[in-house]
Structure 1
């Protein structure tokens, strides 16, 4: 399913035309405050990420969505969704991730998109749980995941020289 919707959001498979908005959001230092890798250096990095997302969609039939407000179609306000990830000590997991433009922060869109992803996974994916990987100091993302029923189940040493990420799990079955 390439499109999915919540009350206020349209969630759709990203296309190549989304690279400009992807770079605008992922290249913004504000949206990378808790990302040790930092913002995308240029649009070519964003194009590589977009191509990986599109390949995931092709291989698995789901992935990261381009997110638009229903009230303002055609304007991407963020990217988020589900993706397979192999994490050391955890094996293959389906990870929930998201990043929104600062212009729409505080409107509850991360929680709404996250619930849409949970509903999508429950309806369409044969997985027992979803996971969220969060930097320990990223309190707002932790609050969103907890609202969505995720609970801490461990840590992941994913960035040398940085505190371990928290691993949160949301059972589906």
Structure 2
């Protein structure tokens, strides 16, 4: 099923935030976010060095959408939120700029399937509830795309803000991810839904 054929392929929040599948044309906007070392404060080695790196970063996300009909969204905000942001690449993005990425994708953890939640936003767009919007939509569609599968947020232990947002959305901090010394795991079990 193509992204346009599912109801979670394009979601507009009451605040004007738009969630949609990322496109090849989003590379400049995603690069504008991911080239900023402040966005990768806890993962400085992950900062994007150039647009080619960003294109490779987006490729598996786009492939997940093509295969499964859901995945990590391009997150766009009204341009007033980040006047220096890169305008959305889609003609239907209206007066919005790409503020980051977030959503859920299939993942395997300790040999078991889970849905991994990801969210990362431009510094100028942080603190505006974008992570909670992504988490709420992810929780809403999870049972529709993977019945009975837990949702996890994996983050660096020092990322207290990411953990706090997940905990407020009902995720339980389970400590370090099994087999890892540098990834904290929060889980929302399927029976919560």
TM-score bracket, normalised by the shorter chain, equals 0.7 to 0.9
Match in the other structure for 2:122: 101
My pick for the range that moved more, 141-150 or 28-37, is 28-37
Matches of 2:104 and 2:161 in 1, distance apart? Answer: 19
Higher relative contact order (CA 8 A, sep 6+): 1
Matches of 1:4 and 1:126 in 2, distance apart? Answer: 21
Structure 2: state its 5+ residue gaps. Answer: 1-5, 81-93
Structure 1 or 2: more strand by fraction: 1
- Are the equivalent residues in 1 in contact too, given 2:115–2:149 (CA < 8 A)? no
Matches of 2:173 and 2:101 in 1, distance apart? Answer: 24
Structure 1: state its 5+ residue gaps. Answer: none
**Aligned-pair CA distance for 1:94:** 0.9
**Aligned-pair CA distance for 1:37:** 3.3
Match in the other structure for 2:150: 129
My pick for the range that moved more, 101-110 or 70-79, is 70-79
Q: With structure 2 as the length reference, what TM-score do the two structures score?
A: 0.79
| 2:136 is aligned with 1:118 | no
**Aligned-pair CA distance for 1:122:** 3.3
Match in the other structure for 2:83: none
Q: CA RMSD in A?
A: 1.9
Moved runs in structure 1, 4+ residues, more than 6 A? none
